[in-house]
Amino acid sequence: MSKALVWLRRDLRLHDHAALHHALRSHQDVWLVFIFDTTILDPLLIKGLGFDRRVDFLWQCTRELDENLRSQGSGLLVRHGDPKKLIPELAEQLQVDSVLCNHDYEPSAIERDQFVATTLAKKDIHFEHFKDQVIFEKTEVLTNSQTVFSVFTPYKNAWLKRLTPADLEPHSCELSAKGLLARFAPIPKALEQALPSLESMSFRPTGIEKYLPPGAKGAELFLNDFLKRIDQYNIGRDFPATKGVSYLSTYLRFGNVSIRGLVHEAHRRMLAGSLGASIWLSELIWRDFYFMILANHPRIANGESFKPDYDKIEWETGTKAQKLFKAWCDGQTGYPLVDAAMHQLNQSGYMHNRLRMVVASFLCKDLGIDWRWGEQYFADHLNDFEFASNNGGWQWASSSGCDAQPYFRIFNPITQSERFDSDGKFIRRYIPALEKLSNKSIHAPWMAGQIELEAAGIILGKDYPLPIVDHDEARKNTLIRYNVVKKVA
């Protein structure tokens, strides 16, 4: 009787799961394991991020999976430590023939998996891995000259041209499905361990479940709600005060929902004429695009600009830079839309996509701060943080990435505010001090008249900061700063 261990990482679900499907198809006894990886978690603790919503979310997801598996006579093996050590140990203790998992594309994860594979091979245990978190990976979508794309639109066109129904076929994990003769095997008593508590791992509850219910059940709730609105996605997606986006990014990041299922639904509705579904499908293809870029250009994981010439840019440094950066982090720049967006991130771990572009442009092109600082701040605070998309977004905003906005395109934070939060509803939600300002003045309080400020009970510099930089001056400085790349942009 062959046995298999499925190693869950970014794929916390029991449906449409490539590695689990293959394990159930090829083995009789199957166990599942999730490792709270100390090589990832310990650096968070060093930074003082014991209050981390993502760890809490993950912990609640593992609890849901464990309950589901126990109802089927098994359970989820959950450990806290280094997977390079724990996975081979568990595989040997369970006497499995194979360890199966899904691909990860970050260089550190690839190195980890290679180490585990080598260790398992010495024990005559197979290590198998599968494509699961993207539709097309690595070099599956190439230009006509068989090179890697670096511009999104032709990539998207080639992606859509290559897409077939087979690419979106779900990987069945139902034990009663045809061809699946396996079972979720009981956990041996010697290996039974209680789910480690957050506190035992030096983390603490965050309350994330109040607005982001964990696991596959949470993902299903949000997906069903979004599908009622998907046809209007093209209209509402840019306005942060409205319920216009899917809010599925965290579930997609941790694999509570299948990318194949999402693309199938978006593609089906696009073919039926839904513009909203078409635009949403483009967003999902952007995700594949950034994973492809990372897989083919792993140097970007070392902090390098995709366009090497952009590493010549001289960013602000020293005490001035630190002061500006802190104001940005704390939502104290004096530009309401920027500040409201940062408050949203700091309070919830979420930021609307339009606002991610606004605050990123502001950091790089108004404050002259290295995009890597912002990239790391997002990495520390976003619930849906995923390296490829985060890096891609920041390099897009700073103009250093593939298919990025031109260096001379600089978002005006006031214009963006007037256009995408015209009545100031979003700003008022996160900056109540500005609540009584008019819809016109709320986008630039320093331009309001003294009578209006007094009527609103606002003293600039006390109740709300004055702008830390003049946008028009900053724009001029940015164009000078980018002169080093002007000829190659």
Residues annotated as catalytic (active site), given as ranges: 283, 286, 315, 353, 371, 394
As beta bridge partners, residue 129 has 101
Q: Nearest 5°: phi and psi at 170?
A: -70, 145
> For the residues of 100-165, what is the DSSP string, one character each?
EEE---SHHHHHHHHHHHHHHHTTT-EEEEE--S-SS-TTSS--TTS----SHHHHHHHHHHH--G
Q: Nearest CA to 400 among 297, 475, 307, 483?
A: 307
Q: What is the largest CA-CA distance in the chain?
A: 82
Q: Nearest 5°: phi and psi at 194?
A: -65, 150
Taking only Cα atoms into account, the Rg of the chain, rounded to an integer number of angstroms, comes to: 24
Q: How far apart are CA 176 and CA 174, in angstroms?
A: 5
Contact 94, 188 (CB under 8 A): yes
Strands annotated E in 159-241 = 183-184
SS3 81: strand
SS3 328: helix
SS3 456: coil
Structure tokens at 350: 């979420």
As beta bridge partners, residue 4 has 30, 98
Q: How far apart are CA 208 and CA 381, in angstroms?
A: 13
Q: How far apart are CA 449 and CA 472, in angstroms?
A: 21
SS3 5: strand
Which bin fits 303, alpha (ψ -120 to 50), beta or left (φ > 0)?
left
Q: Nearest CA to 133 among 316, 278, 256, 271?
A: 256
- Give the helix ranges, DSSP H, for 10-52: 18-26, 38-46
> Would you call 480 exposed, middle or buried from its count of C-beta atoms within 10 A (0-12, 13-18, 19+)?
exposed
Structure tokens at 467: 């702008």
Residues 6+ apart with CB under 8 A from 175: 24, 72, 182, 183, 184
Amino acid identity at 413 = P
